[in-house]
Chain A
């Protein structure tokens, strides 16, 4: 069965392509973890000031690429095969960054301490 493209990829300026690329980038760079829920179509559309149908098309393209899995009632989630890290790890990293930001901690200090803790926890294996 041949899957017809939802949007012509030659249309580089299309908002659908822009949304598709942004979300694809988030998944492939590891900013969205495995099985993590993507923003809702409505939220994406409202954030970017586009029609919900435009955002929905981008989600369909991600699904066709095997990057996300859509299930009724469970929303659209990042496919385990496409993600860099598990969703739980990504969530904790976000919380760490959030907490560091809220307390005014220095980014380099946080990263250095993370390295040291990782080394200690991993039994002396340096990062």
Chain B
């Protein structure tokens, strides 16, 4: 039994955050806190003015979509944790290049949103029961959370930049797989460089492909969600709220997939960063100095990776719980003053 008193508080924190499962645990606590705050009764809740028929139509359209989003978010978590447990404790993958680990959250998110897109295009795009004259152009941005979309865009760019830069810095192993980072021995050019495992093209190319698929599917789902006709004039305000909920879920699942992929990439890059200013004493008394100039940056990314994981899991858990949930729960979706009221 190791003596825990031999480690400092920072060592213990670092050890805890070395596994994404600890991030999931923290995210679970955070998400529970957020849910408790969000489920408090609100004083400004107005009584709904919709008839039972209209409410039924709304539920028939939006409830399956919100459930699909919840299942998609849950699938991303289960796949991520399952892969972690299988590769870490069940399967022997010591020499395997586990490229799928970094692409899997993106692929799972893309598949989940693909199912949602199919649902929106089939069951969710029925013709209006009573035609609603269009007022404004509805695009993929119409119902999306504005800052959420901006954040997702930034995430996609950061993941793209990380993957390309790390890929360019990587080197191939004897089998031609770009999974190494070569760190030269500065004072002994004749000596073979150090070759730690690194987030090279072998990991990066599947990530880029899945990222492209995820962005395309998320865009298509946002567009299909916005462009479909409204059911009836009196349901427009409630439908806008329902579409906002669906759009938030789409952006949330896509962002969480990218956060998990990015966190995995940063963890792997940070692994190479631990080899900084290594000095190896040779047998003949000489010293070999291996220095990677970006080691500090890589270490910083390693510290930030758990924060990305926590953010991703919180978002996914909130989507699983169906936040926001106006149409789904039948809670007030119509307020006394809606955008249509003044039109």
- Give the distance to chain A from B45, nearest Cβ to Cβ, in Å: 8
Which B residues lie within 8 Å of A40 (CB)? 137
Is B227 touching A37 in the complex (CB atoms < 8 A)? no
B44: nearest residue on chain A (CB-CB)? A104
Interface residues in B301-343 (C-beta closer than 8 Å to A): 335-339, 341-343
Instruction: Please give the distance in Å from B126's CB to the nearest CB on chain A.
Output: 11
Q: Which of A22, A37, A98, A100 contacts B137 (CB 8 A)?
A: A37
Task: Tell me which of B44, B229, B336, B338 contacts A47 (CB under 8 A).
Answer: B229
A47 and B134 within 8 A (CB): yes
**Chain A contacts with B in 91-122, Cβ cutoff 8 A:** 94, 97-98, 100-107, 110
When distances are taken between beta carbons in the complex, the residues of chain B under 8 Å from A101 are 237, 335, 337-339, 341
Chain A residue contacts of B237, Cβ below 8 A = 101
Nearest residue, chain B, Cβ from A48: B131
25 CB contacts below 8 A, A to B, read A31-B343, A32-B135, A36-B136, A39-B136, A40-B137, A46-B227, A47-B132, A47-B133, A47-B230, A48-B131, A48-B134, A49-B128, A97-B337, A98-B339, A101-B237, A101-B335, A101-B339, A104-B45, A104-B335, A104-B337, A105-B337, A106-B337, A107-B336, A107-B337, A110-B337
B138 at the interface (CB under 8 A from A): yes
Within 8 A of A (CB), among B107-151: 127-128, 131-138
Nearest residue, chain B, Cβ from A29: B343
Residue A26, interface by CB 8 Å: yes
Q: Which of A43, A48, A102 contacts B138 (CB 8 A)?
A: A43
A44 interface hit (Cβ, 8 Å): yes
**Count of interface residues, chain B, beta-carbon cutoff 8 Å:** 26
Residues of B within 8 A of A69 (CB): none
Across the two chains, which residue of chain B brings its CB closest to A44? B134
- Say whether A67 faces chain B, with CB atoms less than 8 Å apart: no
Is B55 in contact with chain A by the CB < 8 A criterion?
no
Q: For chain B, residues 17 to 49, give those with C-beta under 8 angstroms from any C-beta of chain A.
A: 44-46
Residues on A with beta carbons closer than 8 Å to the beta carbon of B132: 47
Distance of A106 from chain B, by nearest CB (Å): 7
B228 interface hit (Cβ, 8 Å): yes
Whether A38 pairs with B44 at a CB distance below 8 angstroms is no
CB-CB nearest in chain A for B138 = A43
Assuming the contacts A97-B339, A104-B46, A106-B337, asked whether A39 and B137 have C-beta atoms less than 8 A apart, the reply is: yes
B 131-188 contacts with A by CB, 8 A: 131-138
Tell me the minimal C-beta distance from A94 to chain B in angstroms: 6
Which residue of the partner chain, among B44, B229, B336, B339, contacts A46 with CB atoms under 8 Å?
B229
- Which residues on B sit within 8 Å (CB–CB) of A39? 134-138
Extra inter-chain contacts (9) besides given A94-B339, A105-B337, A107-B336, CB under 8 Å: A22-B133, A31-B135, A32-B135, A37-B137, A42-B227, A47-B134, A49-B131, A49-B229, A101-B337
Contacts of B229 in A (CB 8 A): 46-47, 49
Residue B335 contacts which of A36, A75, A102 (CB distance < 8 angstroms)?
A: A102
Return A113 CB to nearest CB of chain B, in Å.
13
Q: Are A43 and B342 in contact (CB under 8 A)?
A: no
CA–CA, A38 and B139, complex, Å? 11
Nearest-CB residue, chain B, relative to A25: B133
B341: chain A residues at CB < 8 Å are 97, 101, 107
